[in-house]
């Protein structure tokens, strides 16, 4: 069903953070840092894939995300919804259902046999495509997916995610320079604020996370 209400953005950010904390999708571990694919070490990790196993939370967040896109881009802005392989696929399907639009998905690379396709499903030249993913860190993977969509002759000027790290200042400018606008429900700052408010983690852990969020490239575990 198409959402027709547009809740306050700060309330959506807090509620999204609360839901992610409630299902233990958020991990804060300053004593045993996580290592990103880039090599960056961090006391934070988030697993948005867990959302697909929680139907009430999943439904609420997809309503929020669909409403955000409609509010920011317009009710008649898209002809197709594409999910990024693999985490974006279920969320793209749920958003497409709400928008009553066709759904497709984008592979990270050609599959290497058959049609050697990166796009699965039907996408045609001139279609305006919304790219949906679970999250974005620095926006790099979004550019690859957008380019694959554009290679079909379709247009892609918007990407929607549940979670945006919000700690790398060049993310949105990088996407904007590529002609893409980012729509997101919450960031690490929102999660940290909600975790402090509700006491989900002890104060030293939250302080270490705050240090990382202020300067992610300079942070190192004691």
DSSP 65: H
pLDDT of residue 220 exceeding 90, the answer is no
| Tens-digit pLDDT profile for residues 96-153 | 999 999 999 999 988 766 566 899 999 999 999 999 999 999 888 899 999 999 999 9
Averaged pLDDT, 69-80 = 97
Contact between residue 115 and residue 135 where contact means Cβ atoms under 8 Å apart? no
* C-alpha–C-alpha distance, residues 211 and 13, integer Å: 21
Nearest to 213 by CA among 180, 181, 177, 188: 188
Phi, psi of 164 (to 5 degrees): -120, 125
| Fold (CATH) for 9-110+117-214 | Rossmann fold (3.40.50)
Tokens read off for 146: 């957008």
Residue range 30-47: average pLDDT?
Answer: 91
Going by C-alpha positions, the residue among 197, 186, 219 that lies closest to residue 11 is 186
Q: In the prediction, which pLDDT does 222 show?
A: 52
Domain range summary for the chain, segments of one domain joined by +:
9-110+117-214
Token pair 């990790």 is found at 45
Predicted confidence at residue 115, as pLDDT, reads 64
The region that residue 16 occupies, defined by phi over 0 for left and psi between -120 and 50 for alpha, beta otherwise, is alpha
- Find the mean pLDDT for residues 34-49: 91
Backbone φ and ψ for 12, nearest 5 degrees, come out as -60, -45
Q: What is the pTM of this model?
A: 0.94
Residue matched to tokens 């840092």: 33
């Amino acid at each position: 069903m198409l959402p027709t209400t547009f809740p306050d953005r700060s309330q959506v950010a807090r509620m999204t953070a609360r839901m992610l904390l409630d299902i233990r999708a958020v991990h804060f571990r300053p004593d045993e840092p996580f290592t990103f694919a880039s090599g960056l070490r961090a006391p934070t990790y988030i697993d948005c894939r867990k959302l697909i196993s929680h139907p009430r939370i999943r439904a609420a967040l997809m309503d929020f995300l669909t409403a955000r896109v409609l509010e920011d881009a317009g009710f008649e802005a898209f002809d197709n919804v594409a999910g990024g392989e693999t985490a974006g696929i279920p969320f793209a399907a749920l958003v497409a259902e709400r928008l009553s639009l066709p759904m497709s998905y984008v592979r990270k690379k050609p599959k290497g046999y058959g049609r050697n396709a990166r796009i699965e499903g039907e996408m045609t030249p001139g279609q305006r495509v919304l790219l949906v993913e679970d999250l974005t860190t620095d926006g790099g993977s979004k550019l690859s997916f957008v380019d694959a969509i554009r290679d079909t002759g379709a247009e892609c000027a918007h990407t929607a995610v549940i979670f945006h790290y919000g700690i790398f200042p060049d993310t949105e400018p990088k996407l904007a320079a590529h002609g893409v606008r980012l729509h997101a429900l919450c960031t690490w700052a929102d999660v940290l604020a909600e975790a402090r408010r509700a006491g989900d983690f002890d104060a030293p852990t939250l302080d270490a996370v705050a240090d990382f969020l202020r300067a992610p490239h300079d942070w190192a575990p004691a």
